[in-house]
Amino acid sequence: MKPATITPGSSKGEESKFKRLFIEIWKYRMTYTLLLPGLIWLILFAYLPMGGLSLAFKDYRANDGIWGSAWIGFENFKYVFRDPAFADAVWRTLYVNIIKLFITFPFPILLALLLNELRMRRYKKVLQTAFTFPHFLSWIIVSGIIINVLAYDGLVNSFLALIGLPTINFLGSEQNFYPMIILTDIWKSTGWGAIVFMAAISGIDQEQYEAAQIDGATRLQQMFRVTLPNIMPTVTIMFILSVGGLMSSGFDQIFNLANAATQNVSQVLDVYIYRITFQSSTDFSFSTAVSLFRSIVNMILLLLADRAAKWLGGDGLFR
């Protein structure tokens, strides 16, 4: 339905078109009341904050509020782009998420392939339960477990000492921070990530396996020549979708696993925003400017990911 436009001196035809639209809207008034509660929520907690981003171009004063503070143009951004901590945070976010993406991404695929080849069905279910469980826990709980297990006198280091290997300072060292983040991310999310690939595998036409077996293909060959090519479209889509989250993912994990010793290396963009907004001197205009930057980059990444997914023949993020 096109929005009605009222032009001055509109002809009688257009006037009745407007009237028809109104009658149509009135006919569906009940449907609009269904949408109302959700729309009110979206206006209050999604669109008002979006409007609040205008603060990035204002000089925030608590007395004047978001809407009353004076406009100052791009002044805030001058300070943002001059702040070395901001640039560091942006690059660190991209760096962490990109290495995380490349190292962790193959694990769920591998797990799905291996689980698919496991012929003990009951055991497979038990394994899946174990692998998916950590996904349902918050990063706070998981951090609690990890801090215990990886601590200097925790499970892993005690074990390393027992078998005569040097112990590793997983949690309190800057250079071990990113490997630790990658390791714990694999630990928490591999099982869950495998589910999509398992579903894709279960959709593969069985005749392909039978044909491969007639040709004398071994199971390993079937895995790489039949299963893997068949799930490649899913793999591509999942990869692209993760690219969409390059600027925004990982906050919960990094924030909860960081400590005083890893203060610097843990400062990704979202952590930086939190720290400048709620921990140091509160300059809301400045942090809103950073927020706006983050939201725009996020949107661009998501739209690019969506485009790429559609271009490759997938559904994309949005229909």
Partner 1 sequence: MSTLARKPKKSKFNTTRVTGLDIFIFIILTLGALSILIPFWNVIMISFATQREYAENPLLMWPKEPTFSSYQALFADGSILTGYWNTIKLMAAGLPLSLFLTVSMAYGLSRPKFPGKKPIFFLVLFTMIFNGGIVPLYLIMKDLGLTGSLWAVILAGSFSVFNMILMMNYFQGLPESLMESARLDGAGEWRILRSVVLPLAAPIMATIALFYGVAFWNSWYDAMIFLRKADQLPLQNVLRAIIVESQTNASNATSVGQGTAASFSTGMKMAAVFVTMLPIMAFFPLLQKHFAKGVLTGAIKT
Contact call for residue 308 and partner 1 (CB under 8 A): no
DSSP string of 228-296, one letter each residue: HHHHHHHHHHHHHHHHHTTTTTTHHHHHHH--GGGTTTT--HHHHHHIIIIIS---HHHHHHHHHHHHH
Residue 33 buriedness (CB in 10 A; 0-12 / 13-18 / 19+): exposed
User: CA-to-CA distance for 203 and 206, rounded, in angstroms?
Assistant: 9
- Which residue among 144, 229, 233, 313 contacts partner 1 (CB under 8 A)? 144
Of 137 and 232, which CB lies nearer to partner 1 in the complex structure? 137
Contact call for residue 273 and partner 1 (CB under 8 A): yes
| Beta-carbon contacts of residue 221 (< 8 Å; ≥ 6 apart) | 212
Looking up tokens 């809407």 gives: 67
Question: How many residues in the shown chain lie near partner 1 by CB under 8 A?
Answer: 117
Contact call for residue 249 and partner 1 (CB under 8 A): no
Contact 137, 216 (CB under 8 A): no
Q: Which stretch binds partner 1 (CB under 8 A): 6-14, 19-27, 72-80, 82-90?
A: 19-27
Contact call for residue 65 and partner 1 (CB under 8 A): yes
Contact call for residue 99 and partner 1 (CB under 8 A): no
Contact call for residue 312 and partner 1 (CB under 8 A): no
Contact call for residue 83 and partner 1 (CB under 8 A): no
For residue 41, the minimal CB distance to partner 1 (Å) is: 5
Contact 212, 273 (CB under 8 A): no
In three-state secondary structure terms, 58 is strand
| Beta-carbon contacts of residue 118 (< 8 Å; ≥ 6 apart) | 124, 127
For residue 35, the minimal CB distance to partner 1 (Å) is: 4
User: CA-to-CA distance for 225 and 68, rounded, in angstroms?
Assistant: 64
User: CA-to-CA distance for 113 and 228, rounded, in angstroms?
Assistant: 8
For residue 141, the minimal CB distance to partner 1 (Å) is: 5
- Which residue among 89, 235, 302, 308 contacts partner 1 (CB under 8 A)? 302
Contact call for residue 299 and partner 1 (CB under 8 A): yes
DSSP 166: P
- Which residue among 51, 106, 229, 313 contacts partner 1 (CB under 8 A)? 51
Contact call for residue 127 and partner 1 (CB under 8 A): yes
Q: Which stretch binds partner 1 (CB under 8 A): 8-16, 72-80, 92-100, 272-280?
A: 272-280
The closest alpha carbon to 126, from 135, 115, 136, belongs to 115
Name the helix (H) or strand (E) containing 193: helix 174-202
- Which residue among 30, 73, 122, 166 contacts partner 1 (CB under 8 A)? 30
Which region, left, alpha or beta, applies to residue 110 given φ > 0 means left and ψ of -120 to 50 means alpha?
alpha
Tokens read off for 41: 């929520």
Q: Which stretch binds partner 1 (CB under 8 A): 5-13, 82-90, 97-105, 257-265?
A: 257-265
Of 3 and 9, which CB lies nearer to partner 1 in the complex structure? 3
Task: State the binding string over 185-224 for partner 1 (x if CB under 8 A, else -).
Answer: --x--xx---xx-xx-xx-x-x--xx--xx----xx----
Q: Which stretch binds partner 1 (CB under 8 A): 10-18, 74-82, 94-102, 137-145?
A: 137-145
Contact call for residue 315 and partner 1 (CB under 8 A): yes
- Which residue among 131, 235, 247, 272 contacts partner 1 (CB under 8 A)? 131
Return the amino acid letter for 242. Answer: S
Tokens read off for 104: 């962790």
